[in-house]
Amino acid sequence: MCLILFSYQTHPAYRLVLAANRDEFYDRPTAAMAYWKDHPDVLAGRDLKGNGTWLGVTRSGRIAAITNYRDPAALMQNAPSRGILIRDFLTGNSSPQHYLAEVSKIGARYNGFNLIAGDTSGLYYYSNRSTGVQQLKPGIYGISNHLIDTAWPKVQRGKALLQHQLNGHEKIDIEKIWEILADRARPVDAKLPNTGVGLQWERILAPLFITSPDYGTRCTSIVLIDTSDHITMLERTFIRADHEIKAGATRQYTLKTAT
């Protein structure tokens, strides 16, 4: 996952509105969002190479998502898959705060990441490129491939678009959220971050929705959790075929959090 935009406890009908793009190489094997056969309470896509995931929810109201922290100079070739951190939270029963505290003890084993984890009691954030576990307060947040709310153009643009869509609207317009995630606007070079990948790749990675011959946005996801703890999770997949990006299936699941 390379972009997570979310409103937490700012909307009158939904305590969480989350919109996210997963960017990955097109040839990395992936299973689309579904209930896992080996863990039937988990609803998530699956990275078939690392056996983890990037975003998921459970019938008990757990939710977690991860982005990579872009730092090519510090990349460890044999580090474990960061998606395992999401898998282990979703399939476990530790509180989000305790789980992230435990992850912080072993965070150095992994390449850079940003991790959010929550349940009906609260939402928390941890990065192994920062210090401490942060309990998130009500607000609009954005995470890309640096720390939470870093003022990258795509984060600022995404947060502004989400804020505009939610303001004064008690009913969520799903199509408008899809439009935000499909945004391909590219900032001018002077506003691009310098993360060590070179100007050409900074340009490619700058939009909310990424396209290139080998790497790009593979799926977009929306998670809505209302004030009665009903969860709606949607996923739209994309493939590159005939030199074009084509939308695949759109999946939607609705579940009531177990009490």
Cα–Cα distance between 142 and 97 in angstroms, integer? Answer: 20
**Residue-level pLDDT at 256:** 80
- φ/ψ region of 252 (left if φ > 0, alpha if ψ in -120 to 50, else beta) reads beta
Name all domains of the chain by residue range, CATH numbers in brackets.
3-256 (3.60.60.10)
Contact predicate 5/158, CB 8 Å:
yes
* For residue 118, pLDDT beyond 70: yes
- The single-letter DSSP state of residue 155 is H
In this predicted structure, what is the pLDDT of residue 258?
66
Which residues lie closer than 8 Å to 152 by C-beta, 6 or more apart?
A: 144, 146, 193
The span from the CA of 24 to the CA of 34, in Å, is 19
* pLDDT band of 248, cuts 50, 70, 90: confident
pLDDT of res. 151: 97
Q: Residue 12: count other Cβ atoms within 10 Å of its Cβ.
A: 9
Distance of alpha carbon 40 from alpha carbon 180, whole angstroms: 31
Output 188-193 pairs: Cβ under 8 A, ≥24 positions apart. Answer: 191/153, 192/153, 193/146, 193/152
Per residue in 185-228, pLDDT (tens digit) is 999 999 999 999 999 999 999 999 999 999 999 999 999 999 99
- What is the model's pLDDT at position 79? 97
Mean pLDDT confidence for 80-107? 98
pTM of the model: 0.96
How much is the average pLDDT of 59-70? 97
Q: Give yes or no for a contact between 245 and 51, defined as CB atoms under 8 angstroms apart.
A: no
Return the residue matching tokens 């590219």. 186
Mean pLDDT in residue range 92-117:
98
Three-state secondary structure call for residue 199? helix
- Model confidence at 82: pLDDT above 70: yes
Contact indicator for 77, 23 with CB cutoff of 8 Å: no
Q: What is the spatial distance between Cα 22 and Cα 25, in angstroms, rounded to a whole number?
A: 10
- Do residues 81 and 48 lie in contact, with contact meaning Cβ atoms separated by under 8 Å? no
